[in-house]
Structure 1
């Protein structure tokens, strides 16, 4: 009897409910690892871009600085380069446009709002997928537990049909059903750890973006580097 026990035996004997539960956990695992790998790669790229800020402030002019930022990574995913270009567009739009409601703002407020919107967009992109990780981390253990409960119920029905109850007949099927709880934890733990690591990485990038936005605002308003950027 013990030779028949195992994960695949549980899937076959557990019926559609156990098979569907295992399949859902498998999909959740694939989804969580995909998000973790993709987002971790993005954070590493953003950290590399953040390292190029020192070269940006040591450039001869703004265009050379933008080229150095662009060379640090994919322009479509370079939040720091995007921040600089949004500031440029804000100045050009404010100075060369017909009168609109937003033109009642002075240049400083207009640049501040533009840079803040750019940071909000970057924050939204950085946070994409984190809700999925949080959901998987919180629900996977309960899905696995449901599979265990159903497996034990199914096993007890089979034992009851035999008319005899002994420890060896109970321990095997029940222990087999507990595999589903282990699968739930196997899916949930990486999702929770990955979520926490990605949140820390996102906070680091957002901190760099906010500091860079402050420096850019000062530069656009005065044409001079701040004391902080001179010390880099």
Structure 2
């Protein structure tokens, strides 16, 4: 075993661990910022949502950021889609309103869960294998040191201490890389459980509120069209001679207003 090969392998091990450390701290920073933003937007939207007089008013909240806002947005879109009965005959619309709403909310929650869990597998992998990578570098370095000792024929402390001490550095670096990765992984797993419990409770409450409102969220476009039709009828005095062009123009005016 040559000194060059030993040096390359040990140095490569240390470089790998340093790269893993950079990735670990980058992920911890990114996930930390993500959770801060999520907590802020969820608190903001929750305050606005529960401060609304009813679920119909809550449907017009402008906040589209954060998991809770996106889950609510899917819920409102589903209620508007099924208002007055779904005209589409496909498997996606074979559910009743409550089942379809619950299904869409769960699908969006799974998307949010995937976003929350992104990157955690990398942290878990680094935390698991880093000590073993460091140990590999240490073992290889000690093997090279023992080979050199056998060639020199001397086992004095001066000969043994230097090479073996350098080899043990790899194990120390491996542990130093693994500890932040494991701590970060456990921390974010805990935070994800908190966020998931919040979304789960919010989805259940949303379904109950929708049930109290008979799953009716008026479609703003439909209301504008109906208002335009009503005004057109008044203008024409109940006659049907208004014509399609006048009606389209009035609908466009009402929608713009």
1:128 match: 118
Are 2:78 and 1:90 aligned? Answer: yes
1:8 is matched with none
Residues 166-175 or 29-38, more deviating: 166-175
Q: CA RMSD in A?
A: 1.9
Change in 2 beyond 3 A, CA 1:63/1:102: closer
Structure 1 residues not aligned, in runs of 5+: 1-10, 225-232
SS of match in other structure, 1:33? helix
What is the TM-score of this pair, normalised by structure 2?
A: 0.75
* Counterpart for residue 171 of structure 2: 181
> 1:158 deviation in Å?
1.9
> Could you list the per-position Cα deviations for residues 12-71 of structure 1 after superposition, in whole angstroms to 9, with x for gaps in the alignment?
89421112111111111111111111111111111112322133210241145x32x44x
Conservation of the 8 A alpha-carbon contact between 1:50 and 1:208: no
Residue 96 of structure 1: how far off its partner (Å): 4.1
Give 1:209's aligned residue. Answer: 199
2:107 aligns with one of 106, 117, 120: 117
The answer to whether the Cα contact below 8 Å between 1:115 and 1:213 also exists between their aligned partners in 2 is yes
Query: Counterpart of 1:31?
Result: 23
Aligned mates of 1:16, 1:96 — CA distance in 2: 67
Q: Normalised by the size of structure 1, how large is the TM-score?
A: 0.83
User: Unpaired segments of 5 or more residues in structure 2?
Assistant: 215-257
Structure label with greater radius of gyration: 2
More helix by share: 1
* Structure 1 residues 39 and 144: alpha-carbon distance in aligned structure 2, compared to 1, 3 A threshold: same
* Matched position secondary structure for 1:178: helix
| Match for residue 56 of structure 1 among 39, 49, 53 | 49
CA distances 1:195-232 after superposition (whole Å, capped 9, x unpaired): 000001111111111111111111222229xxxxxxxx
Q: Secondary structure at the match of 1:147?
A: helix
How many Å apart are 1:137 and its aligned residue? 0.4
Q: Which stretch of the first structure deviates more once superposed, 156-165 or 186-195?
A: 156-165
Q: Deviations 1:162-216 (Å, cap 9, x if unpaired)? A: 2211123212221121000000001100000000000011111111111111111
Which runs of structure 2 are paired with 1:190-205 in the superposition (5 Å)?
A: 190-205=180-195
Residue 148 (structure 2) pairs with residue 155 (structure 1) = no
